[in-house]
Amino acid sequence: MSDVEFIAATKIYDDGTVALDSLDLAVREGEFLVLLGPSGCGKSTALRLLAGLEDISGGEIRIGGAKVNDLPPGARGLGMVFQSYALYPHMTVRGNLAFGLRRGKGDAEIGAEEIAARVAEAAGLLDLGELLDKKPRELSGGQQQRVAIGRALVRRPKVLLMDEPLSNLDAKLRNRMRFELRRLHEAHGTTTLYVTHDQVEAMTLADRVAILSAGKLQQSAKPLEAYHRPANAFVASFLGTPAMNLIEGVASEGVFSAGELSFALPEHLAGEEGPCIYGIRPEDVRIADLDAGGSRGGGPGSAGVPCRVGGVERLGSDTIYHLDAGGNPIRALWRSAGDGDRGIDDAPGGEVRVRLAVPSALVFRE
Ligand code: ADP
């Protein structure tokens, strides 16, 4: 059963902006679904429509099978966590957690004992036990964010909505909270819809990721499926760091050509014909000079196209080579396999041979 369904959900703002264009998407019970896309693609709008904070312009939204288009936000059974935690500064953590339960209309039946039990449960889940009597100003950013999540969870929402909840935290804390959010989800299992523009958050948190561009759903799939089998060039270029190389050219009789670049297509793409985009991940670009004698499968004698080395970024475990292949910019990622500082030291202007015909390469038509 689906807990949340968007059916041709559309939002057109008063100024004519089409923020969400006929979104069809279902979130299954217990699922952690991440809405991912660049800024302005309509992620928050989708969440706000679901929460009832914006009126829908067309289509339908269902929660637990029931249409909620005209239901006020408070009656939708949702818990929300936003980028800013907005805790009550004069209340303790315990007070902040309990507040929503005391205040809510229709929650009058929740007695003091039940409130205490739910606060204790959330504190246990979120590791807040030691902090219950502290005020928000005495907490770190990560602790405050945990309280904000606790405040949403104590209400036992049918669905938990999170909009960029980690973006106010520094990088280290964000990494830790990401890990904790996933652990938390495994523990409480609440259906979750999570909005982010950060592909790492999406890849690590999601059971399923729904990628949006310009208000339109591009693909919904398990994270690794979207990574390895992107539905189109947009998804391919959005997932992965550095981004997938996309070379616009023409396939003809088993050969791909783009400007002065020309190479035999790999076997699985040999039947492609006509204008297309050739996609290859930076980590799959084989630099023959590095592979010679190495374990990555290039090896002496392997065919390769000549590339000019335009720049080298050494990141420690990874090295990114910026190459020019017959007028096409290409990035190659070389990852140290524990064998120290191997790699080409060519200054910009040097030349290497790379192999672009690999089994993981993809061809896109759009
Ligand atoms: P995201 O969350 O992916 O960054 P949003 O859903 O906030 O994107 O916005 C989607 C599009 O709708 C953007 O072009 C944005 O400028 C526009 N938009 C958002 N809110 C409003 C509004 N209240 N009025 C007009 N346009 C809006």
pLDDT in tens, 293-323: 443 444 444 468 999 998 889 888 888 999 9
CA of 56 to the centre of ligand 1 (A): 14
> Residue 145: what pLDDT?
87
Probe residue for ligand 1, chosen from 17, 18, 43, 54 as the CB with the greatest number of ligand atoms within 8 Å: 17
CA of 54 to the centre of ligand 1 (A): 11
Tell which atom from ligand 1 comes closest to the C-alpha of 45.
6
Say if residues 192 and 185 touch (Cβ distance below 8 Å): yes
Probe residue for ligand 1, chosen from 21, 35, 44 as the CB with the greatest number of ligand atoms within 8 Å: 44
Tell which atom from ligand 1 comes closest to the C-alpha of 11.
12
Q: Which helix (H) or strand (E) holds 43?
A: helix 43-51
Tell which atom from ligand 1 comes closest to the C-alpha of 37.
3
Q: Do the bridges between strand 208-213 and strand 32-36 make them parallel or antiparallel, or are there none, so unpaired?
A: parallel
CA of 45 to the centre of ligand 1 (A): 6
> Residue 97: what pLDDT?
93
What lies within 8 Å, CB to CB, of 329 at 6+ separation is 245, 310, 322, 323
CA of 41 to the centre of ligand 1 (A): 7
> Residue 109: what pLDDT?
67
255-258, strands of its sheet edge to edge:
261-264, 255-258, 245-252, 274-280, 362-364
Residues of the chain with confidence (pLDDT) below 70? 1, 103-109, 289-303, 337-349
Tell which atom from ligand 1 comes closest to the C-alpha of 197.
3
> Residue 299: what pLDDT?
40
Say if residues 22 and 198 touch (Cβ distance below 8 Å): no
Q: Considering Cα of 180, then 281, then 41, then 192, what sign does the dihedral take? A: negative
Ligand 1 binding site (Cβ under 6 Å of any ligand atom) = 13, 15, 17, 19, 37, 39-45
> Residue 126: what pLDDT?
83
Q: What is the pTM of this model?
A: 0.88
